[in-house]
Chain A
Amino acid sequence: MILPKFTYKKVKSVAEAVAAYNSHKGKAKYLAGGTDLVPLMKLRLSAPAAVIDLKDIAELKAVSRKNDGWLAVGANVTLFALKNDPVVKEYFPALYESLDATSCETLQMRGTIGGNILQDTRCLLYNQSLEWRKARGFCYKMGGKVCNVVPNAKACFSNYCSDNAPSLITLSAQLRFVGPKGERTAGLEDIFSGDGRRPLTVEPGEILTEILIPLKKTKGAYEKLRVRDSIDYPLAGVAVSAKGGTVRACVCGIGLKPRVYDLSDMNEATVKEAADRMYGDAKPVSNTVLSAMYRKKMAGVLFKKAVKRVLQEG
């Protein structure tokens, strides 16, 4: 399967990347591991005029402890490298588990944490070749006027399938962006637009440079629903992290946005109440393998399983 035509540029700094982006008048895409972008290009879901390779930018590959009590993870750190950094297993067990559960080992070595966060949303009827989609008809996410899954729907129901965003959200991670309009920081849980056509509120040309995590020891777990125990994206993913008196849970993989739940503790009543809420809030549609009703049920079930493991550790 050949790729569409594009030009390629390898840059050595963030400034150079942004400049290259600007020179293509917005018709460029950034490339890190390529495990999300390249398949999308092969399917003609993305056809930029230019691809800008960020992998030579040294500052994006570092993991460092900052003085103000944060861990700064460069966006281009691979999932495999991050998983094997001892600080992750020690401080952020939910993140360790979600990194280990992401895809398969080979792709963990190629995929970056930044790319994993910034991945496009997915749907069985979206992630298909151009010929397939022409035969079926274009949907909202492709620039059409319908949803191909839910007749008469006025919205897109594609799923945001990052394994690591939910665990990072439970760790209250922040993102640092550098773009044509300057720098900014945003909470990871705040970058989701709720619009399947542009699921992330990332400005055109912005580069995710680092992920900042408060460097505090947590207990945590990540539960992933999938048919096979490797390669597959999450059909639902629930992360739980607890530190001090606070507990955060995050449900992902069902719909456009991860949903965050803050709990005061993990006793039977609060856990049940949160699980019921997760069940109620989950609105999956038939755009994955396995039934939508089942995935809805699993939101609460996976949460309870994660809590059980976190409590066992304690």
Chain B
Amino acid sequence: MKTIGVTIQVNNEENVLQVKPYETLLETLRERLNLTGAKEACSMGSCGACTVVVNGTPVRSCLVLTAEVDGADITTVEGLQKDGKLHPLQEAFMEKGAVQCGFCTSGMIMTAKALLDRNKKPTKKEIVKTISSNICRCTGYKKIVEAVEDAGRKKG
């Protein structure tokens, strides 16, 4: 079957790729670009562990065909650091104990990042609503919410 040519910006780097038409963005990121931060935890869009940011919007990359996002600007967790400095969310997640097994973490952080980018000072209620898109099995979410609140304060 013929591949499709796409050009995607991933973490500020241009990637010119030939992908299968039925290839998901998650597969492209993990298998072709070796960006394994986004995880495959359910494959069906039920859990958010695969969340990356596409043109500013958080998406479940397991439900998106790479062909659909030709020309898009994509950020993954690996692209959050700037010049070796951690993003406030990354720092806050560490300091607040919001990371346990870590498997949901990249999706959680990217979902929160998209929130902070569109809403500089989210209320606790807004944060809970946003991260209720993502399943965590370890933390009970409390420290995740605290970390996002903390990052919001620092960023804003």
Contacts and interface: CB of A to CB of B under 8 A. Distances in A.
- In the complex they form, whether A and B have CB atoms below 8 Å apart is answered with yes
Interface of A: 1-8, 10, 31, 34-35, 38-39, 42-43, 51, 53, 55, 104-107, 109-110, 229-231
B132 interface: yes
A10 B58 contact: no
B58 A106 contact: yes
Contacts of A2: 22, 27
B150 to A, nearest CB: 20
Contacts of A51: 21-22, 65
B101 interface: no
B45 A109 contact: no
Contacts of B44: 1, 39, 42-43
B104 interface: no
Interface in B54-81: 57-60, 62-65, 67-68, 70
B45 to A, nearest CB: 6
Contacts of B70: 10
Contact of B132 (A3, A7, A35, A230): A230
B59 A110 contact: yes
Interface of B: 1-2, 4, 20-24, 27, 40, 43-46, 48, 51, 57-60, 62-65, 67-68, 70, 111, 129-130, 132-134
B1 A7 contact: yes
Across chains A and B, which 6 residue pairs bring their CB atoms closest together, nearest first?
A230-B132, A8-B21, A1-B43, A106-B133, A104-B133, A3-B22
A7 B59 contact: no
B132 A6 contact: no
Contacts of A3: 22-24
A110 B64 CA distance: 10
Contact of A106 (B1, B27, B65, B111): B111
Given A51-B65, A104-B133, A105-B133, A5 B22 contact: yes
Contacts of A7: 1-2, 21
A105 B4 contact: no
A7 B130 CA distance: 34
A98 to B, nearest CB: 16
Nearest to B4: A8
A278 B67 CA distance: 45
Nearest to B51: A106
Nearest to B57: A109
Contacts of B20: 5
Contacts of B27: 2
Contact of A110 (B24, B63, B130, B134): B63
A6 B21 contact: yes
Given A51-B21, A105-B133, A35 B63 contact: yes
Nearest to A43: B44
A51 B23 CA distance: 12
A50 to B, nearest CB: 9
A126 to B, nearest CB: 14
Contact of A231 (B51, B62, B111, B133): B133
Given A5-B1, A10-B70, A35-B45, 8 more contacts: A1-B62, A4-B22, A8-B21, A10-B67, A39-B44, A51-B21, A105-B132, A109-B58
